[in-house]
Every structure is written in structure tokens, then in C-alpha cells.
Amino acid sequence: MNRALSPRHALLALAVVAIWGTNFVVIKLALAHLPPLLFAALRFALAFVPAAFLVARPALPWHTLALYGVLIGAGQFGLLFVAMRRDITPGLASLVIQSQVFFTIGLAMLLRRERLRRVQSIALAIALAGLGVIAAHTDGQTTPLGLALVLAAALCWACGNLVSQRAGSVPVLGFMVWSSLFAVPPLLLLSWVFEGPAAIARGLAGAGLDVWAAVLWQSLGNTLFGYGAWAWLLARYPAATVSPMALLVPVFGLAASALWLGEALPGWKLLAGALVIGGLALNLLAARIGR
């Protein structure tokens, strides 16, 4: 198995992380027209409906797919979309959500009695310092509530990671498609209760082609192409070769938000980004450093 990505495959990996990073801007634009929980429900509905006829259901119990779908759908994306509507900027959201890595480590320590290596402790401290910089600079665009909601979304993502790890080696694309089925009902119910039928009707009636394009981008580009291409790369290269590319997601997120939405990038935000990404990178290299 090759150790280094070929030029074509490196471009494919770069395309995936660019889609995942710039996707935060697409989310923000769509949230100007759609209630967040409804938007999330549409995202997962359109990720399931066409693909279910083309992608086989993985050989997993239904309850595993349901648990993952609820955690990622109603948990991660539901909370993330609610936060991004008015309580956090897209660039910072793309950065803070990466804390799922350390939540995953913490849950593994709690549930599986895994030990935290010294390098991981240092990496966690660096990333926490970056989150502390963000917390110290909350303002009208990024509020303490927004930061808390994205951290809660990251925790749900980490719980979903443990579910997928326990599921073992299964086709990633099929896992994403069929678990999406179980994300839709709770999101629709929460939208009906908290956003209300009137807001749902207004959102659907006022959605133009640009809004539906954003929903399709979430479903087809972000989910089906993104996760499908990433799984294809992981099947051909070691995870240690592919995974570092994911560190570019918040870089694309911050840059896209600055270019398209005019999000300011003062020194403290760049410092926070450097600390969080640095902590993630150090954690990713922890095994090699230990050896």
C-alpha cells in the first residue's frame, strides 16, 4: 500500500476538505431563509432518499444505524445549525467543532479505560487554550451560547464516533446514507415543536433555487461525495496518510467566511485557530512522537 498520496489523490483529498470547510459558509447562507432544524431535516432526507436506491444497507443492526443517525443528525448538525443562525460565525464554527477529537478521546478514557498519553495531554492543553481565546472574545457575532452549542454538537459527534467505531469495518458511505433515515424524524419533530408550523411553512414557501441548491450541496456534495471520496481514499492509503488533510477544514472554513461573508480575522482569531489546529496536529502525530 502506498505511503504517500499520488498527485491526483492528493487533489481529491484537498477537494473533499475544501468542500467540508467552505460548507460552513453555505450553511450560513441557507440559514437566512430556512429555520435551522428544518434545514437539518431536509439535509438528511435528501441524503437518504436518492442514495438508498443505489447504496446497499450495511450489515448492521437497525438500532446501531438509528443511534448514529440521531446523534449526528439531531445532535451534531441540529445543534450546529441552531448555533450558526445567529450565535457564532461560520469560520469559528468550523474551528470549534473540531474539538470532537478531544471529546472522542475523553469518552474513550471514560468508557474504555484508555489512558491519555503525555503528548495527547499537551495537545489537549494547546487546543483548550485556543478555545479559551475564543471564549474570551465573544461578542455580538459569537456569543457564549453559540460557543456552548457548538461544543455540545462536537460532543454529539464524538459519541457518534464511538458508535461507528463499535460498528467495526463497514462501508462508510452506506453507513452515512442509511443512518440519515433516522436523523429525519427527530429533526422534524423538534422543528415542529420549537420552530413551529408557521415558520416551517414560511421557510419552504420562501425557499428559492439558491436555498435548494444549498440543501442539495449539503446532501450530495458534503455527505455523499465528501464521505464517499474520503472512504475511497482510506481504503487505499493508511489513515495516517489521509487524516492529516482534515486539519485544513477549519483553514478553508475561516478563509471562505472571510472572503465571502466578510468575517473579520483579527489577531486573536488567528491565534485561536493556530492553537486549536496545532493541538489537533500534535494529537494526530502523538503515536509517531511516542515511538
Q: pLDDT band at residue 3, thresholds of 50, 70 and 90? A: low
Please give the average per-residue pLDDT across 253-275, as a whole number: 94
At residue 182, the 3 state secondary structure works out as coil
Which residues, 6 or more positions from 197, have their beta carbon under 8 angstroms from its beta carbon? Answer: none
Structural domain span for residue 140 = 7-290
**Does 127 reside within a domain?**
yes
- Residue 233 vs residue 139, higher pLDDT: 233
Place of cell 465571502: 260
**Does 77 reside within a domain?**
yes
pLDDT at 48 over 70: yes
Please give the average per-residue pLDDT across 201-220, as a whole number: 92
pLDDT at 223 over 90: no
At residue 32, the 3 state secondary structure works out as coil
**Does 262 reside within a domain?**
yes
Torsion of CA 133, 139, 142, 147, to 10 degrees: 50
Please indicate, yes or no, whether the overall pTM of this predicted structure exceeds 0.85. yes
**Does 2 reside within a domain?**
no
C-alpha 204/C-alpha 13 separation (Å) is 34
Q: What pLDDT does 290 receive?
A: 54
C-alpha 166/C-alpha 64 separation (Å) is 9
Q: What pLDDT does 263 receive?
A: 92
**Does 128 reside within a domain?**
yes
Q: What pLDDT does 1 receive?
A: 44
DSSP for 90-122, please give it.
Answer: HHHHHHHGGGHHHHHHHHHHHHH-PPPPHHHHH
**Does 221 reside within a domain?**
yes
C-alpha 60/C-alpha 64 separation (Å) is 7
**Does 1 reside within a domain?**
no
Size (the chain), residues: 291
Residues 145-186 pLDDT 10s: 999 999 999 999 999 988 988 887 788 888 989 999 999 999
Please give the average per-residue pLDDT across 227-245, as a whole number: 79
Q: What pLDDT does 2 receive?
A: 44
The rounded Cα 44 to chain-centroid distance in angstroms is 14
User: Which cell numbers hold the place of 148?
Assistant: 456552548
Q: What pLDDT does 180 receive?
A: 94
C-alpha 59/C-alpha 45 separation (Å) is 21
Domains held by the chain: number? 1
Q: What pLDDT does 173 receive?
A: 86
- 155-160-165 Cα angle (round to 5): 125
